[in-house]
Amino acid sequence: MSSALERHGVAVGGLLVGAGPAVVIGDRLSLRTDARASRPGAAPGDPHAASRPGAVPADPHAALRAGVTLAEPATAADLPAIAEHAAAVVVGASWTRDIPLVRAAAGLGLPVVVERRATASMEEWLGLAAYCAGEGDGRVILCEGGRRPDLALVRAARAASGRPALVDVSGDIGLSAAAVAAGADGLIIGTGGETSPGAERRVAEEAVTVVGALLRDETPGTLPECRQAIDRVDAALATLLERRAELAGTVQRLKPVGGFAGRDLGREHDVVARMAVRAPALGESRLSAIMNAVIEAGLHLAEERSGR
C-alpha cells in the first residue's frame, strides 16, 4: 500500500494480519458486562440483541474457554484465561484510559489489538499503540470499530505507523468493501465469540477477495500464496465477466440489429485499444485475442437467450 514504512505482518492464531490478503475474523469476544450496550451491532435495550452478530454470549467465560481469536478482558483477573485461550488480546475502546489494565494486557505475551476510543485522535490512538508495543513484544494491531468506523482515519493511521489495522464491521457488514478499499488488513465480523452467520462471512470474504484483488498490492513469496492471489484475481475477473456479459446482452437488445449479425468491429477495436492503456504489458495484440473470446461468448449467450 502507500506507505514508505516497512510493514510487518502480525500472526494471530493461524492468521497473518498485515502481510498478504486481508483476513476475516469471526470471533471477537468481550468479557465486559457493558459490552452488549457498547457493541456496534447491539442497541441498548434491543430485545433481539442476543441473536445478532454483535451480541455477547450468555456465558462469555465458557465461550473463552472454548477458544477465540480476539478476547477483551473486563479486569486483570481475566488475563490468565485470555493468555491461555485467545490468540490476541483486545484493548477495547471503552477503557483505553485504564492504564494499569492496558499495561497488563499489553504485557500478556499475546499480540495486542488496540481499538480506538471513539473520540481519540490519530495521535492518541497511535500513541497508545506505541505504548502497548513498548510494554509487550511489539506485536500490535490497530482496530477501528464503533457504530461509524472512520475509514479515513484507518487509512492514515496505517500509513503513518506501518502497523496493520483491523476494522470491526459487525455493526454494518455493508462497510466491508469500503474497509478493504481503505486498506484494512482484516475485518472483524462477529463479536459474539462464536462463528458468525454464513451470510455475513460471505459478504466479508467477497469484499476481501474482489476488492482486495483490485486494490491491494501483494507480493506473494511462495507457490501456495501466489496461487491464492491468482484465485482472488480470477474471482474478481469472473465477477466482472459475468457483469460484462449481462451488459453486452442488453446492448444486443437495444441495437437495431443485435447478435453476430450486428457485430461492430470498429467498436471492438476501440474497446481493445482503451484496455491496452490499462494493460500495457499485455498490449493490443494479446488483449485482442482475449477480448475476441469474451465478446463472442457474450454474443453466443445473448443469442441463446433470445432464442435465435
The residues binding ligand ISJ (CB under 6 A) are 248, 251, 255, 263-264, 267-268, 271, 295, 298
* Cβ-based nearer residue to ligand ISJ, 97 or 263: 263
CB 150 within 8 A of CB 158: no
SS3 assignment for 63-109: HHHCCEEEEECCCHHHHHHHHHHEEEEEECHHHCCCHHHHHHHHCCC
End-to-end C-alpha distance for the chain, whole angstroms: 49
* Cβ-based nearer residue to ligand ISJ, 21 or 249: 249
State the nearest-atom distance from the C-beta of 283 to ligand ISJ, in Å.
19
Q: What are phi and psi of 201, to 5 degrees?
A: -60, -40
DSSP letter assigned to residue 222: S
* Cβ-based nearer residue to ligand ISJ, 97 or 255: 255
* Cβ-based nearer residue to ligand ISJ, 145 or 298: 298
Q: CA 212, CA 142: separation in Å to the nearest integer?
A: 19
State the nearest-atom distance from the C-beta of 250 to ligand ISJ, in Å.
9
State the nearest-atom distance from the C-beta of 44 to ligand ISJ, in Å.
53
* Cβ-based nearer residue to ligand ISJ, 90 or 295: 295
* Cβ-based nearer residue to ligand ISJ, 84 or 270: 270
Residues 6 or more apart from 28 whose CB is under 8 A from it?
68, 69, 70, 71, 72, 90, 168, 170, 188, 190, 191, 193
The three three-digit cell numbers of residue 32, written as one number: 465486559
Q: CA 90, CA 93: separation in Å to the nearest integer?
A: 9
* Cβ-based nearer residue to ligand ISJ, 105 or 295: 295
State the nearest-atom distance from the C-beta of 247 to ligand ISJ, in Å.
8
State the nearest-atom distance from the C-beta of 188 to ligand ISJ, in Å.
40
State the nearest-atom distance from the C-beta of 184 to ligand ISJ, in Å.
34
State the nearest-atom distance from the C-beta of 45 to ligand ISJ, in Å.
54
Q: CA 13, CA 70: separation in Å to the nearest integer?
A: 9
**Ramachandran region, residue 121 (left: φ > 0; alpha: ψ -120 to 50; beta: rest):** beta
